[in-house]
């Protein structure tokens, strides 16, 4: 899995420059003149917010534009094998708020192929249902996969390999992963924008639960639930290290997510290289304070930035697309998450 991230500027100065500034500051103090050195924000991640009001609109070109804004070039994609990991948690025909929409996945396939990808595959290990064919049929994925001749892998029944747990946030010393991850040069988490009754919100990082094979971890990934969902989110992301995220928020889910909630038209797609930054941005769009979600706050310390001051927002402004998702007071994980409007 080859990284495609650009190295951010840290805004460092040389020792010579530092001494010159210090000397200038001393001289200014001696003359009673204050010296103010202005500093530009040092961004550690870039996120692109795309306004999209309907799944039927043309989505490939906007996704290409978003990838270009993030610096994802044809040179980085050409000849690469791309694995798209949607959220297919339940088979619900006509319920666009439950699963990543197949037309968003189709647009992503076309975008990456247009940039010269050697192959684009779709892979998922559903957490609740074992009948993969039923899930694909009822979610609308079967038609899109067949029409576009997109290869699908059922990660619940894959051959597996073992990796050391790089996150070390749970008692799991190793993670058992599907071999399809080894076939991919670039892994893209294609999550759904939803509230969640255990962790507050489920976005691109939580979506990686679906790469864990149910044949080993059970349904609905019981081993991971027992080890602790927040810690497992961090462990999986630290170990798998996905390179991109595309979150489907055209129609999201509010209330008792990730399955029993109600649809909410948020009208956005959110793209980025840093999954913590993507999820923090999605949370703010949902009217949720990412610093109040324990797993996301911890991700900001371990995996990538979640502070708005460290994230360069491209495309739409957060305040222009913010839609406060309904949170339920009777669900402990959703209590006190509301982002205060300034």
- Phi, psi of 49, rounded to the nearest 5 degrees: -105, 120
Q: Which of 5-9, 40-44, 159-163 is predicted least confidently?
A: 5-9
> If you average pLDDT over residues 14-41, what whole number do you get?
42
Look at residue 11 in the predicted model and tell me its pLDDT: 45
Q: How far apart are CA 86 and CA 67, in angstroms?
A: 18
pLDDT digits (tens, 9 = 90+) for 131-160: 888 889 989 999 999 999 999 999 999 999
How high is the mean pLDDT of the chain?
Answer: 89
Give DSSP secondary structure letters for 255-300.
Answer: SSTTTS-EEE---EEEEES-HHHHHHHHHHHTTB-GGGSHHHHHHH
Look at residue 36 in the predicted model and tell me its pLDDT: 43
pLDDT at 25 over 80: no
pLDDT digits (tens, 9 = 90+) for 191-249: 999 999 999 999 999 999 999 999 999 988 999 999 999 999 999 999 999 999 999 99
Please name each of the domains of the chain with its CATH number.
Answer: 45-334 (3.40.50)
Look at residue 39 in the predicted model and tell me its pLDDT: 53
pLDDT digits (tens, 9 = 90+) for 282-294: 999 999 999 999 9
Which residues are CB-neighbours of 7 under 8 A, at least 6 positions away?
none
For residue 31, name the pLDDT band (cuts at 50, 70, 90). Answer: very low
DSSP letter assigned to residue 210: G
Give DSSP secondary structure letters for 54-112.
Answer: -TTS--HHHHHHHHHHTT--HHHHTT-EEEEEE---S--TT-TTTS--HHHHHHHHHHH
Q: How far apart are CA 46 and CA 68, in angstroms?
A: 12
Q: How far apart are CA 116 and CA 279, in angstroms?
A: 28
For residue 270, name the pLDDT band (cuts at 50, 70, 90). Answer: very high
- CA angle, corner 250, sides to 328 and 53, nearest 5? 125
Question: Token pair for residue 54?
Answer: 């309907």
């Amino acid at each position: 899995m080859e990284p495609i991230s650009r190295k951010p500027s840290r805004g460092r100065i040389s020792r010579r420059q530092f001494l010159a500034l210090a000397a200038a500051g001393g001289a200014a103090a001696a003359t009673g003149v204050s010296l103010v050195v202005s500093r530009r924000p040092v961004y550690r991640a870039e996120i692109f917010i795309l306004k999209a009001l309907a799944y039927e609109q043309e989505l490939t070109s906007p996704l290409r534009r978003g990838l270009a804004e993030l610096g994802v070039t044809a040179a980085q994609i050409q000849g690469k094998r791309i694995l798209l990991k949607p959220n297919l948690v339940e088979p619900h025909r006509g319920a666009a708020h439950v699963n990543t929409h197949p037309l968003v996945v189709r647009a992503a396939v076309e975008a990456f192929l247009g940039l010269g990808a050697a192959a684009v595959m779709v892979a998922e290990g559903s957490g609740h249902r074992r009948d993969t064919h039923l899930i694909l049929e009822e979610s609308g994925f079967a038609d899109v996969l067949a029409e576009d001749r997109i290869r699908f892998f059922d990660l619940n029944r894959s051959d597996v390999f073992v990796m050391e747990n790089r996150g070390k946030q749970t008692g799991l010393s190793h993670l058992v992963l599907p071999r399809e991850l080894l076939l991919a040069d670039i892994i893209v988490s294609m999550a759904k924008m939803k509230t969640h009754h255990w962790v507050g919100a489920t976005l691109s990082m939580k979506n990686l639960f679906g790469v864990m094979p149910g044949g080993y971890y059970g349904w609905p990934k019981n081993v991971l639930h027992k080890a602790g969902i927040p810690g497992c989110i961090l462990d999986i992301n630290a170990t798998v290290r996905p390179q991109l995220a595309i979150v489907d928020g055209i129609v999201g889910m509010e209330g008792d997510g990730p399955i029993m909630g109600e649809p909410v038209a948020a009208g956005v797609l959110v793209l980025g290289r840093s999954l913590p930054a993507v999820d923090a941005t999605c949370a703010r769009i949902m009217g949720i304070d990412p610093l109040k979600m324990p797993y996301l706050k911890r991700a900001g310390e371990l995996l990538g930035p979640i502070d708005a001051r460290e994230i360069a927002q491209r495309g739409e402004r957060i305040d222009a697309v913010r839609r406060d998702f309904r949170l339920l007071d009777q669900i402990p994980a959703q209590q006190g998450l509301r982002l205060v409007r300034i």
